[in-house]
Structures are given as structure tokens and as C-alpha cells.
Structure 1
Amino acid sequence: MIFQQQKSATILVVLGIALLTACSSKEKTATETNIGPAINVTLATPSGNNGNTVNISGQVESSQTANISTRVMGYITSLQVKVGDKVRKDQLIATISNQDILAKRAQTDAAIAEAEATLKNAQKDYDRFTALYKQQSASAKELDNVTLQYNAVKARVEAAKQMRNEVNAMLSYTTLTAPFSGTVTQKMVDAGSMANPGMPIVSIEQAGTYQISAAVPEAEINQINQGQLVEVTIQSANKTFKGSVTQINQSSQFTGSQYIIKVSIPDNEKAGLYAGMYATIVLTNTNKIPTTNSNTVLVPLSSIENKNQLTGMYTVSANHTALLRWVRLGKTFGDKVEVLSGLANNETFITSADGKLYNGVAVKEKK
């Protein structure tokens, strides 16, 4: 009985060893099959900021923008435009209810008519008493009284006319027109809403006047000069061009220690741009003062892999296979992006490959 049990145990051990050997052989075969031929790749190491450039972010904006509003209170009776509409200079934008102003103008017109009628009568008295005084038939006192009355009526006519000018000016604020040709970018209210003095109704941007506005930190503003050439990259429009600094704000009192600069955009680069697009501006640091940490890790944007909401890049493992490394990105500088974590500043990564990369695929450096 004992002999049979020992025999059965021996058979089980032999079968187990055979099964493990077969599995190991299959895994080895599968691994060898997956390796396949090595893919030629181009390798690089991260570049850092050499301290000779200043990188800042900005936005495209129109150099001339107008918020259309009124100086009177009233209901908006009509609104002739919507967002995106092209408008011409002096084109009608909106109208405000003006019945009360029209009534006031009618009152001033009546006051002018009354004052002018009184003036005609005073003019006759003045002319008559002037003639009598010359004939010594009226005293100087009588002539002075008539002259005083005549001048008072003349002043009343002038006051009524100026009142009408004021009413006409108020009436003009009930008809809003475009101050220049451009595009409607915002509509704050609709017809039927109550307009209040100074409350914007629509915003208009002048066509073809785009520029870039950027905020420069206090530590870097001394490295920027008016007229300085800069490199501008607008990634969303796939544009890179040279611009020049046209304006430097000398105060940061209301911008939190950030100095606002304006950068021009060449006319041939304005097509396809929209206000609000983000831009990266690279300025040569003529003072050679380091502006960022020299350990900053910069890699080409083309080497970044996006999978769902994660970002990564391929590095090379000790076994000469591709290894996808998840990284956290920072600011974008032209065609490069800052890697905040996930890649050392001296670590090799893959910039391009002659085939499709995936984890575990064999790679070799292209000669």
C-alpha cells in the first residue's frame, strides 16, 4: 500500500516538471516571436534653457476695440447686429426709445418761437426809441430801458436755441452707429432690455489690426526694448513669424507686477487669426542674465504621445526596447515643451522612428 502511494507521488512530480518545462518553452518562444526585427530610431537628450532667451505667453487682440454704449436711459427698441457680423463705419447698430426726448425738443422749439416773436416786438421798440432819442423826443432813461429789454429777449432766444442743441445731442445718443469698420465680437443685451448710461451694448473690433499683448514679469522687463525683434509662435493657427515690440507699459500698478507689452504682427500673417488665440513669444536676452532654472527640461512637441488624457514619451530600456514613460508637462516654448516630471535632464528619449512604437518593441539607434 505504501509502495503504491510512493509510486503515485513520483508520477505526479514527473508530470509537474514536464508541464512547467512545456510552459517555459512556450513563453520563451512567444517572447522570441514578439521581439522581431529592431526598429531604427533617432535618439536625443533634453535641452535646457541656456539663459540667453526670455519666454513669455501672450494673446492675440485687436489694437482697436470699441464698446458701444449710450448716455441716455431707455428701452432698446432695435438691435441690428449679432456676434460675428461685419459692420461698416457709421452703420446703424441699435436704437433707444426717445419719445421723451422728442417731446422735450418740441417744447424747446415752442420756446424758441415764443422768444423770437417777443424779440421782434422788442426790436421794433428799440428801433422806435432810438429814432425818438435822436430827435430828442425820448429821454436817455427811456432808451436805456428799451435797450435793456431788447438785450434780455435776445439772450432768451439764444438760451432757447442752446437748449435745443442739448436736446438734439441727447437725441443723437438714441441712435448708435459703428465708429469704424470691423466685426461684432460681443452682444451684451437684446432688444427690449433697458439701456443705462455707460452700459456696453455690443463690442466691435476693427478688422485687420491684430497685435499680441503679453505680460512680462518684473525680473525680465529690463531685458526688453521697444523695437526689439521677437519670435512669435501661435500654435492653434500653426504660425511662427518675427514680430517687433511696439509698446512697453511703464507701470505695473494695476497688473500685479506684470508689465504689459505689445508685439506687432506682419500683415501677411494676420489671415486665419482670431482675437484670444494664445501665443508664445521668445526674446533674445541681450543682457545674458539667466531667466529660468538651468535644469529646465525641454523636449520637442513632436516627441510627445497623447493617450486619452495622459501624456508620455518613449525612452529606451536597458534591453534596447521602447519604453513608454508618462510625463507631466509645463509651459510651451515655440516647438518645445517643458517636462516637469517623468524625464531626467540627462536621459535619452526617442524623437522619431521608422516604424510604429509600442512598449517592448526592439529598437536601435539610427546611424
Structure 2
Amino acid sequence: MKPLYTTLLISTFFLLGSCGDSQKETAIDQTPAVPVTVSSVGAENNTPFLTASGKIEAANSSTLSTRMMGFVNKIHVNVGQKVSRGQLLVSINNSDLSAKQAQTNAGITEAQAAFNNAEKDYQRFQNLFAENSASQKELDDQRARYEMAKARLEGAKQMRNEVQSQFAYVDLRAPFDGVITNKYIDEGDMANPGMPLISVEGQGGFEVTASVPESEISKINSGTEVKVLVKSLGTELSGNVTEVSSSARNTGGQYLVKVALDKTDSNILSGMYATVQFPVEKSTDSSMILIPIEALVTRGELTGIYTVSQSNTAILRWLRLGRTYGDKVEVLSGLAPDEQFIVSAEGKLYNGAKLTIKG
């Protein structure tokens, strides 16, 4: 009897387990399919332009520093404040320079008095020599005294000019009309020669500095009209290529291209990232895979895309990405040519989710 009871219990256990699995399968089967829009890799492998990433900068900008060492007495402006050309921005303690200026002024006064005396003596001896009352040597001596006094006076004046020119480095003024973008020092701090103190940017003109690889730089020429996409503002701007670098020695193998932006009412700011579209065909081989950036899925530091299986279910593939071409990105690995992937979905996607492909 015991073997019989044991056999019945095991049969009942497996029967209940299979019923549970059946219920789970029924639940899975009843999950509604997610309507999705798909695309194939081959259909996205075409771009009519070359793109490069860059950063927007003010066309006219300056970071001011000083050649003098001293404490900052006063900062007369704040970040974001508009300034006019010649407006006082930063004052640095100039007591040493003021003392030197007083010394040069005293030296000029002394040299001027000596010059005036030597000039009168020289004129007197010229008259005496004309009346044969002074010798040639006496006249030459007076001329030498006059020339030396004149040279000392000129030297004293040049020293004063030197001191006055140094005042430009203790009273920093705006080099052009613009806006204060940054302050690197506070009142009471020590300012050292060459140390950046304050930055000014001119208003109105902006440019983009983009990096272009060596395989494409030969196709870009100055004067070319381009389109610039500012993703943070969702706007497209026009511009012209103004500079094309001929060396990548200090830029990691990338060539720098500057694009001057046309005037616009868009609220663009210095430091915004932008994508420049050059109207030249990119040199890509037939094996390059490009997909829309909007189709990507991010999980922490991983980036992937949902593909469609043979049974019409979603499969998440992790990708290794390359360069960006406008609104598309290059896939280096993780996606095969002519493979379908999901561009958009009308529901939440996950691995194994049933799909309904929209026509």
C-alpha cells in the first residue's frame, strides 16, 4: 500500500505543477501586444551631409589679467552686468606705482630746470661767439651741456610714460562693449602677473568651433554655408565657415573649423553645444550602420536598442556606438545589417514583450 500512496502523491504534485505552469502561460499569452514602429538598418544608412560637434563661443571675448602684483582693492562689476568700452572693472592696490610716479614727476621738474639753465647759457655763448667774445671750445662745451640736459629731460619724460602705462594694469578697463561672464578673484585677494581676473564677452556675434577628422577636412572650405543645430534650444541656425585649421598637432588628430553664426533672435549663449552640418557627402563605406538617436535605450552607462525577433517579440541589444551624424549615430557593434529595430512604441517595452508592427 505504501508504494501505491507514494505514487499517487508524486502524480498529484506533478499535476498541480503543470496546472500552475499552464496558468502562467495563459497569463503571458493574454498580455496585450505593444504596437511599435520599426525600421531597418539599411534604410537608415544614408546621410547627405557631414556633421561635426562643436561649442558656441562669443566671437569677441577677452580674459583680463595684470602685469603688476598687488591686492585687489575693488571689483566694480558683477557677473552678467553689461559694460561699455573703457569702463573701470577692477582696481588693484597701486601705492608702489603712485610713489614711483611721484619720483618721476620730481625727476622731470629737476631735469626741466637744468635744461632751461643750459639752454640760456648756450644761447648766451652763441651771442658771445658771434661777437668774438667767446672761443669755439667754450661754445662747444655749452652746446654739450645743453644736449645732455635735453637728453636727461627726455629720459625723465619717458620714465613717466612708462609709469603711466603701468597704471593700465592696476586699473583694468573693458576693452569693448559687452557683458561680464566670469570673475576669478575677490576683493582683498592677491593678484599676480598673468593671473586671469575677469572675463568679458562682446554681445551679438557668436561662432562655433567644431572638430573634424582628417578623413573629411579636405572637403571643407572657407566661405561654405552650413547649418548649425542647437539641441538644447531645438533650433537650427545658419552660418559660414570662416577658418579651417591646417594642423591637428595639438588637437588630438582633429582639425578645428570655425563657423560664424548669422544674426538670430534665438536666445543662444556662449558654451552651448551644437552640431554643424557641412553640405558635403561623408566618406563612409557600405558597412557603416547608422540608427536614429531617438531609438536608443539607456540603462546606467549602457546604451542599447530594441530589435524584433522572428516571433515578433522585443529583444534588447546592447550597442557600442561611434560618431554622431546629425540626428543619427554610428553603431560599431551589436546590430547586424538589414536587422529590424524599434523606433517608437505605444507602450512599455521589455525583453520578450509581444509586438504588433504598425504598417
1:285 equivalent in alignment to 2:277: no
Give the whole-Å Cα distance in 2 for the aligned partners of 1:172 and 1:39: 70
The residue that corresponds to 2:39 in the other structure is 44
Give the whole-Å Cα distance in 2 for the aligned partners of 1:150 and 1:16: 127
The DSSP-based 3-state class of the residue aligned with 1:339 is strand
The DSSP-based 3-state class of the residue aligned with 1:208 is coil
Give the whole-Å Cα distance in 1 for the aligned partners of 2:295 and 2:248: 38
Give the whole-Å Cα distance in 2 for the aligned partners of 1:19 and 1:254: 72
1:116 equivalent in alignment to 2:108: no
What are the equivalent positions in structure 2 for 1:246-265 lying under 5 Å apart? 246-265=242-261
Give the whole-Å Cα distance in 1 for the aligned partners of 2:101 and 2:321: 66
Cα RMSD after superposing both structures: 2.8
- Give how far 1:49 is off: 4.7
1:11 equivalent in alignment to 2:15: no
The DSSP-based 3-state class of the residue aligned with 1:237 is coil
What are the equivalent positions in structure 2 for 1:223-234 lying under 5 Å apart? 223-234=219-230
Give the whole-Å Cα distance in 2 for the aligned partners of 1:104 and 1:280: 54
Tell whether the 8 Å contact from 1:76 to 1:193 is kept in structure 2 after alignment. yes
Tell whether the 8 Å contact from 1:95 to 1:175 is kept in structure 2 after alignment. yes
Give the 3 Å change call, closer, same or farther, for CA 8–219 of structure 1 in structure 2. Answer: closer
Write the deviation string for residues 139-174 of structure 1: whole angstroms up to 9, x where unpaired.
444334333323332332222222212221122321
Give the whole-Å Cα distance in 2 for the aligned partners of 1:18 and 1:217: 66
The residue that corresponds to 1:73 in the other structure is 69
Give the 3 Å change call, closer, same or farther, for CA 141–12 of structure 1 in structure 2. Answer: closer
1:58 equivalent in alignment to 2:50: no
Q: TM-score, normalised by structure 2?
A: 0.86
Aligned partner letter, 1:305: V
Q: Give the % identical residues.
A: 44
Among 212, 235, 242, the alignment partner of 1:239 is: 235
Moved more, 118-127 or 204-213: 118-127
Tell whether the 8 Å contact from 2:295 to 2:343 is kept in structure 1 after alignment. yes
The residue that corresponds to 1:314 in the other structure is 306
- Give how far 1:80 is off: 3.1
Tell whether the 8 Å contact from 1:280 to 1:332 is kept in structure 2 after alignment. no
Among 285, 289, 293, the alignment partner of 1:297 is: 289
Aligned pair count reads 358
Give the 3 Å change call, closer, same or farther, for CA 353–294 of structure 1 in structure 2. Answer: same
- Give how far 1:213 is off: 0.8
1:266 equivalent in alignment to 2:266: no
Give the whole-Å Cα distance in 2 for the aligned partners of 1:6 and 1:254: 85
Tell whether the 8 Å contact from 2:50 to 2:325 is kept in structure 1 after alignment. no
Give the 3 Å change call, closer, same or farther, for CA 132–257 of structure 1 in structure 2. Answer: same
- Give how far 1:5 is off: 2.6
Q: TM-score, normalised by structure 1?
A: 0.85
The residue that corresponds to 1:343 in the other structure is 335
- Give how far 1:262 is off: 0.6
Tell whether the 8 Å contact from 1:237 to 1:273 is kept in structure 2 after alignment. no
- Give how far 1:223 is off: 1.0
Among 148, 161, 164, the alignment partner of 1:168 is: 164
Write the deviation string for residues 27-86 of structure 1: whole angstroms up to 9, x where unpaired.
34323322x3x4432220125555864332222222222121122233333333454443
1:142 equivalent in alignment to 2:138: yes
- Give how far 1:334 is off: 1.6
- Give how far 1:94 is off: 1.5
Aligned partner letter, 1:8: Y
Write the deviation string for residues 269-299 of structure 1: whole angstroms up to 9, x where unpaired.
6523332x3322232336xxx6234322221
The residue that corresponds to 1:330 in the other structure is 322
Aligned partner letter, 2:154: E
